[in-house]
């Protein structure tokens, strides 16, 4: 069941509820490895990647119970962990690399296959490796694995990241919780997902300050304790629904959405002509006219997120005017544009710039999702096309958007699996 059939022309209207963030839940699950005993992660999204991470933790020796009805997972971590994460699971999602920090901290050895995940460009592990090396780990690559050893334990270090990498910040932060001494991460990632992970670690007994700033300080402790933590709401899913409302000239209330985590995207939607109001437990996006084209440059948080780049390109493709979208994070994100061109969009790509001339309506055609966000962007593009669009490789979408077709149907869209 890897294809979606989307009938264009729907005006989306109604209410959707956003679940926990994929980019946070998977990292929280990996972090439970730091403390023997049972930890529980609640507000869990019902997505395929959660099952992949559950299987990975099971192979490392944990007892994992996913309760999709209650949207939570309990992870019972043993005193002695395995230390090898094999390729057959790691290749399915890049978040698998987040077991590296906890494993090297707990077991002083980790063997993690080089990760796969979405085809959106080079996402090297240099920042992860350099940071852990500064903390005393000996790391090399053999036979497709990152092999890290720290027989004498990890020690605190002053680490400056060349780029505020989310994954590197998270791996260094988790490893530092059990290191000797104090670790400082300069130019740290500021994403809400990083803050969420840090708050979970603090609830486990970690000593961390500076979350949400460019400088995070971690004072190592001897041990951590299991804890229960609720995953924060998914800002990328919230943003996707916000763009869906604007593109279809719709009216969507996004329950559990955090507008404070989406300031730049929501500012762009207001610039495009949307009316956005906060509600008691979320926000509402309403659009009564064709969108106005907006220029966007993706940047690390609090800038415009790269994960919403396909959505803003799609909006601009049917907007009034011309626009320029600049991708500063992942060079491979523009692979999505090739599929959008099949739908009649007028886009020219030059390096990391995409120049877009808006047209009144896209035209239906067979397309294929290349990654999670591209897949969601293609669904939105299909909704503003003139016929029936078939989207191949829709399994990508299921990795990040729980019950996406069902939620679209509840808003008035004609979407089905075929």
- Cα–Cα distances in Å, from 77 out to 74, 172, 205, 417? 10, 21, 16, 37
Cα pseudo-dihedral 69, 72, 74, 75, rounded to 10: 120
Three-state SS letters, 70-109: CCEEEEEECCCCCCEECHHHHCCCHHHHHHHHHHHHHHCE
180 is in an annotated binding site: no
Sheet with 207-209: list strands edge to edge. Answer: 158-160, 182-186, 215-219, 207-209
- Looking at residue 66, the DSSP 8-state letter turns out to be E
Q: Are 4 and 367 spatial neighbours (Cβ–Cβ below 8 Å)?
A: no
The answer to whether residue 126 is catalytic is no
152 is in an annotated binding site: no
Say how far apart CA 283 and CA 411 lie, in whole Å: 16
Say how far apart CA 70 and CA 32 lie, in whole Å: 19
Q: Are strands 275-279 and 37-42 parallel, antiparallel or unpaired?
A: unpaired
Question: Taking Cα atoms as reference points, which of 367, 363, 417 lies closest to residue 392?
Answer: 367
Q: Dump the DSSP string for 260-279.
A: GG-HHHHHHHHHHT-EEEEE
- Burial label for 88, CB within 10 Å (0-12, 13-18, 19+), is exposed
307 is in an annotated binding site: yes
23 is in an annotated binding site: yes
Question: Taking Cα atoms as reference points, which of 172, 192, 194, 204 lies closest to residue 34?
Answer: 204
The residue annotated as part of the active site, out of 49, 88, 118, 126, is 118
11 is in an annotated binding site: no
Residue 69: count of CB within 10 angstroms of its CB = 7
Known binding residues for phosphoenolpyruvate: 22-23
Residues labelled as active-site residues: 118
Residues contributing to the annotated binding site for UDP-N-acetyl-alpha-D-glucosamine: 94, 307, 329
């Amino acid at each position: 069941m890897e294809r979606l059939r989307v009938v264009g022309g729907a005006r989306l209207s109604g209410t959707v509820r956003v679940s926990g963030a994929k980019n946070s839940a998977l990292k929280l699950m990996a972090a439970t490895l730091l403390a023997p005993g049972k930890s529980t992660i609640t507000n869990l999204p019902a997505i395929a990647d959660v099952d992949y991470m559950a299987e990975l933790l099971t192979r490392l020796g944990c007892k994992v119970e996913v309760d999709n009805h209650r949207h939570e997972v309990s992870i019972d971590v043993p005193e002695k962990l395995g230390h090898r994460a094999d390729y057959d699971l790691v290749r399915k999602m890049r978040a698998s690399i987040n077991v590296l920090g906890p494993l090297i901290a707990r077991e002083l050895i980790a063997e993690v296959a080089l990760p796969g995940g979405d085809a959106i460009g080079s996402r090297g592990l240099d920042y992860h490796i350099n940071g852990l090396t500064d903390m005393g780990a000996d790391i090399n690559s053999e036979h497709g694995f990152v092999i890290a050893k720290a027989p004498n334990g990890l020690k605190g270090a002053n680490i400056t990241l060349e780029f505020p990498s989310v994954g590197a910040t998270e791996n260094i932060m988790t490893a530092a919780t059990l290191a000797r001494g104090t670790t400082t991460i300069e130019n740290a990632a500021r994403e809400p997902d990083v803050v969420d992970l840090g708050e979970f670690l603090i609830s486990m007994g970690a000593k961390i300050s500076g979350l949400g700033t460019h400088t995070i300080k971690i004072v190592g402790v001897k041990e951590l304790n299991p804890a229960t933590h609720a995953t924060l709401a998914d800002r990328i899913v919230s943003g996707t629904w916000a763009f869906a409302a604007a593109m279809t000239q719709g009216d969507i209330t996004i329950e559990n959405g955090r507008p404070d985590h989406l300031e730049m995207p929501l500012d762009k939607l207001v610039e495009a002509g949307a009316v956005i109001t906060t509600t008691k437990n979320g926000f509402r996006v309403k659009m009564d006219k064709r969108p106005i084209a907006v220029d966007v440059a993706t940047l690390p948080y609090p800038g415009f997120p790269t994960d919403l780049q396909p959505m803003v390109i799609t909006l601009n493709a049917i907007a009034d005017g011309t626009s320029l979208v600049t991708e500063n994070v992942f060079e491979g994100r523009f692979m999505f544009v090739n599929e959008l061109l099949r739908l009649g969009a007028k886009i020219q790509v030059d390096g990391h710039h995409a120049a877009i001339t808006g047209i009144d309506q896209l035209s239906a055609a067979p397309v294929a999702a290349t990654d999670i966000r591209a897949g969601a962007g293609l669904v939105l593009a299909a909704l503003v096309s003139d016929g029936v669009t078939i989207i191949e490789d829709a399994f990508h979408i299921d990795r990040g958007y729980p019950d996406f077709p069902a939620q679209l149907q509840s808003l008035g869209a004609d979407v089905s699996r075929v």
